[in-house]
Amino acid sequence: MAKTDTKSETARGARAPKRPTSVAASRPARRAAGAKTETPYHHGALREALLQAAERVLERDGLGGLTLRAVAREAGVSHAAPTHHFGDLTGLLSELAAVGFRQFNAAMASSCDAATTPLGRALARPKAYVAYAQAHPGMYGIMFRTERLDYSRPSLHEAAEASFAGLANAIGAMRQEQISGDALTMEQGAAIARAWSMVHGFTTLLLDGRLEDILGRLPEGTTAERLLESMLTAPISGKLPGP
Amino acid sequence: MAKTDTKSETARGARAPKRPTSVAASRPARRAAGAKTETPYHHGALREALLQAAERVLERDGLGGLTLRAVAREAGVSHAAPTHHFGDLTGLLSELAAVGFRQFNAAMASSCDAATTPLGRALARPKAYVAYAQAHPGMYGIMFRTERLDYSRPSLHEAAEASFAGLANAIGAMRQEQISGDALTMEQGAAIARAWSMVHGFTTLLLDGRLEDILGRLPEGTTAERLLESMLTAPISGKLPGP
DNA sequence: TCCCCATCTTTACATCGTAAAGATGGAATA
DNA sequence: TATTCCATCTTTACGATGTAAAGATGGGGA
């Protein structure tokens, strides 16, 4: 009945025929040299190791390949090990998304600091936004694949909240006004929604290949970044910006 | 080995203990009265019935519940029947997304016709866009869940292409210029990308619950539609529209 | 020193997608 | 009209996945 499980785990076992013995043999190196990334098998940093393994699997095999068992395989542990640390698949994905949001926030912050001119500063955020998504499409995909996430998890909630706060602050700075945390005017809300919708929409359409059509019809060699820039800076002709 | 399959299919069989006999018994009603939706089991409109069943399952159980076997169950056929009509899960999802795009295009067209004032006409499209997504969140989710779709399927490709053409034409009309099919100026591309990104981004953020934060901080009882309107019509303050 | 319990492994099972072979019956053909 | 053919649907089978539950293991406190 458990044929497939037995077989797949036997394959792993082939690398370490007698598990207890081999594990015990490799264990002494664990904290001897203070290298905490060394064989974090039994005690130690399995949780972090699993998150790193998950990120590797995600970048290598995409969202479709990111399964609990694949992550366990990548980390070299039994397929049920992740359950103990994350509860279920939603738990792992949520923690991984939190990692993504933290990376994302860091990228935004450092890119804003690097800007010099006013125009450069205004464009730095959206450019960094899209650049992160292009560099880590899998991560970005997870971060906004809401139906598989649990936003009630503190780590995810906080990281996503920080991301939103950064956006709101940037808008406030551009409008030369303070944006308070608890109340917004209609104009402020509209400005935030517009900025976020525009950049997030552009990013998802880009990652989904939906903009290829437009890019192919533009002057030879126009990049997505160039289109984004035009989209954000070009004067708005016609009666309304909406379609 | 096939215990679970046998059991679940046996449950279905309980409704029709001896399959050939019962099917033969219910078959006469099939085309007798010309009602083509009557027991389209063996020959007939199984393909359409499966698509309708899929839409039902999607609206009832969401994306997570939309499996080949669930659709087959909903349609009252064996779990392998869908495979013959759609090849695999990607095939079914793609055809269902095509149905969605056609519904979507129809909704857009009829809503544009109903508009009277210039402002109303400019807002009709984005409003209809968001309204469709809110009324059919599962469908909209599928239509833009690219990793599970096969855009090389003619029906999906055509329906999605028509949707894009409608958008481009609307933008062209607003800019009072003809948008040719094969080439775009940077301004035109930017206008299309801006409009599409804005509305698509707003929609996905809204469906993902990401705008709750903003809506909750706006004046009491502000709806998503009202926010969308402000977003599209409010003057842009600050140096740039970008975040 | 010994025992507890967090951590990890084993085992088990329902469900899913998919492949392949077997039935069934309408329609073309003789 | 009788027979064969083949598209359509069903059965059976298998590997993979998520998850629950019980069994090992070993570090750290009693």
Nearest of B52, B150, B34, B37 to residue B99 by alpha carbon: B52
pLDDT on residue B239: 47
Whether CB of B123 is under 7 Å from strand C: the answer is no
| Max Cα distance, chain B (Å) | 76
Contact call for A238 and B171, based on CB within 8 A:
yes
- Residue type at B242 in one-letter notation: G
User: CA of B93 to nearest chain A CA: how many angstroms apart?
Assistant: 15
pLDDT on residue A14: 32
Report which listed range, A173-177, A226-230, B1-5, is most confident.
A226-230
Taking the CA of residue A47 and the C1' sugar atom of nucleotide C2, their distance in angstroms comes to 30
Report which listed range, B9-18, B35-44, B91-100, is most confident.
B91-100
Whether the predicted pLDDT of B11 surpasses 50: no
Cα separation, B237 vs A237, whole angstroms: 16
The shortest CB-CB distance from A243 to any of B170, B209, B237 is to: B170
pLDDT on residue B237: 56
Cα separation, B140 vs B81, whole angstroms: 26
B236 to A82, A125, A192, A240: CA distances (angstroms): 48, 18, 11, 11
Put simply, whether A216 touches B (Cβ < 8 Å) is no
Per-residue confidence band for A62, with pLDDT thresholds at 50, 70 and 90: very high
Per-residue confidence band for B179, with pLDDT thresholds at 50, 70 and 90: confident
Proportion of chain A above pLDDT 90, given as a percent: 67
Partner B, chain A 38-77, Cβ-Cβ below 8 Å:
62-64
The shortest CB-CB distance from B186 to any of A200, A219, A242 is to: A219
Between B41 and B205, name the one with better pLDDT: B205
The shortest CB-CB distance from B200 to any of A182, A196, A205 is to: A205
pLDDT on residue A8: 42
Contact call for B125 and A243, based on CB within 8 A:
yes
Whether CB of A179 is under 7 Å from strand C: the answer is no
Report the mean per-residue pLDDT for chain B: 82
Proportion of chain A above pLDDT 70, given as a percent: 78
User: CA of B84 to nearest chain A CA: how many angstroms apart?
Assistant: 24
Whether CB of A40 is under 7 Å from strand C: the answer is yes
Distance of CA B118 to the CA centre of its chain: 28
Q: Average pLDDT of B162-187?
A: 90
User: CA of A78 to nearest chain B CA: how many angstroms apart?
Assistant: 24
pLDDT on residue B236: 66
The number of residues in chain A equals 243
3-class SS letters over chain A? CCHHHHHHHHHHHHHCCCHHHHHHHHCCHHHHCCCCCCCCCCCCCHHHHHHHHHHHHHHHHHHHHCCHHHHHHHHCCCCCHHHHHHCCHHHHHHHHHHHHHHHHHHHHHHHHHHCCCHHHHHHHHHHHHHHHHHHCHHHHHHHCCHHHCCCCCHHHHHHHHHHHHHHHHHHHHHCCCCCCCCCCCHHHHHHHHHHHHHHHHHHHHHHCCCCHHHHHHCCCCCCHHHHHHHHHHCCCCCCCCCC
Provide, as residue numbers in chain A, all residues whose Cβ is less than 8 Å from the Cβ of B215. 189
Sign of the CA dihedral running B106, B108, B111, B113? negative
**pLDDT tens-digit profile of B67-78?**
999 999 999 999
User: CA of B59 to nearest chain A CA: how many angstroms apart?
Assistant: 14
* C9 closest protein residue (CA to C1'): A78
Provide, as residue numbers in chain A, all residues whose Cβ is less than 8 Å from the Cβ of B117. none
Whether CB of A83 is under 7 Å from strand D: the answer is yes
**pLDDT tens-digit profile of A191-207?**
999 999 999 999 999 99
pLDDT on residue B32: 29
Q: Which of residues 26-55 of B touch strand C (CB under 7 A)?
A: 27, 42-43
Substitution target in B63, B152, B186 with the highest count of A β-carbons within 10 Å is B186
Q: How many CB pairs under 8 A join A and B?
A: 218
**pLDDT tens-digit profile of A115-164?**
778 778 889 999 999 999 999 999 999 999 999 999 999 999 999 999 99
Contact call for B205 and A183, based on CB within 8 A:
no
